[in-house]
Structure 1
Amino acid sequence: MSTFHLKVLTTERSFYDDDVDRIVVRTTQGDVGILPGHVPYIAALGIGGLTIIRDGQEHVAAIAGGFVDCSKEGTVVLARTCEWANEIDINRAREAAERAKARLHQQESEHEHDIAQLKLKKAINRMRIAEEK
């Protein structure tokens, strides 16, 4: 089976750098599957999962924000946050979700409400990814 090179970078680390069979990544428009030979493509990342399939095995990570760039040289994912399912502290994610829910019920500015909604979405995504492992 053919492969392509995938590099996943965050502001904190080089998350992944190896050849893969395929990936599925959440963009702002929905999930996108990328196979070897994918046409040139750039998209903004949403909040969701990044599934990396290598040698027939799936590896799942929680991802939020950034970009995916496919070219003939390979695929680069630049993510604000990305963490493997087994790295997620589920209790911390639950606490973050509860804090965000509490902030949503407070009378705050529209901007603060939007931030609380974003934090809640990220926490729920982290819990979902961790529980699927």
Structure 2
Amino acid sequence: MSTFLLEIVTPEHVVFSKEVESMTVRGIEGELGVMPGHIPLVTPLQVAPVVVKNGKETTMIAVHGGFVEIQSKKVIVLAESAELPGDIDLERAIAARERAERRLAARSNQDRVDQRRAELALQRAVTRINVSSRRND
């Protein structure tokens, strides 16, 4: 089967760099499946897992915003932050989710900025939990 190079990069380091058969990302307009030969494209990303497939192996990577650039033989994810399943502290992610849920539940005395920050914190925590929970798939 044909492959393409996928690189997931943060300002700090390269999180993932490997030849893959396909991937799925969540852009601002919905999910986007990418296979070799995809048309060139650049789009912003939502906070969501990137799903990478190679044969029967599926890997999920927690990606927290950024952009994806699709080229003919290479895809680059420029992420604000990204984590492989083994790098996620599940207990910390669960605690972060609970804090964000409490802040959102008490939103009557919050301004819009605090509410948006709580929503983003919740999305990041849920993404980490989902990726960490599927570590052995």
What's the TM-score, normalizing by structure 1?
A: 0.91
Structure 2: runs of 5+ lacking an equivalent: none
**2:52 is paired with a residue of what secondary structure?**
strand
Say how many residue pairs are matched: 133
Aligned counterpart, 2:23: 23
- Residue type of the partner of 2:29? Q
- Residue 88 of structure 2 corresponds to residue 88 of structure 1: yes
The equivalent of 1:116 in structure 2 is 118
| 8 Å contact from structure 1 (residues 21, 56) kept in 2 | no
| Preserved contact between residue 23 and residue 35 of structure 2 (Cα < 8 Å) | yes
Q: How does 1:91-110 map to 2 (within 5 A)?
A: 91-104=91-104, 105-106=106-107, 107-110=109-112
What is the identity, as a one-letter code, of the residue corresponding to 1:53? K
Q: Give me the identity figure in percent.
A: 31
Instruction: Give the structure 2 partner of residue 50 of structure 1.
Output: 50
Could you tell me which runs of 5 or more consecutive residues in structure 1 were left unpaired when the two chains were aligned. Answer: none
**CA–CA separation in structure 2 for the residues paired with 1:22 and 1:101:** 34
TM-score norm. by structure 2 comes to: 0.89
Letter in 1 for 2:122: L
Letter in 1 for 2:112: E
Distance 2:63 2:78 in 1: 10
- TM-fit CA distance, 1:86: 2.3
Write out per-residue CA displacement over residues 11-32 of structure 1, whole angstroms, 9 at most, x where no aligned residue: 1210112211111112122221
- Root-mean-square deviation (CA), in Å? 1.4
CA distance in 1, matches of 2:132, 2:111: 32
Conserved in 1, the CA contact under 8 Å of 2:37 and 2:73? no
Give the SS at the match of 1:48. Answer: strand
**Which structure features the higher share of strand residues?**
1
Q: Which region of structure 1 is more displaced relative to structure 2, 102-111 or 30-39?
A: 102-111
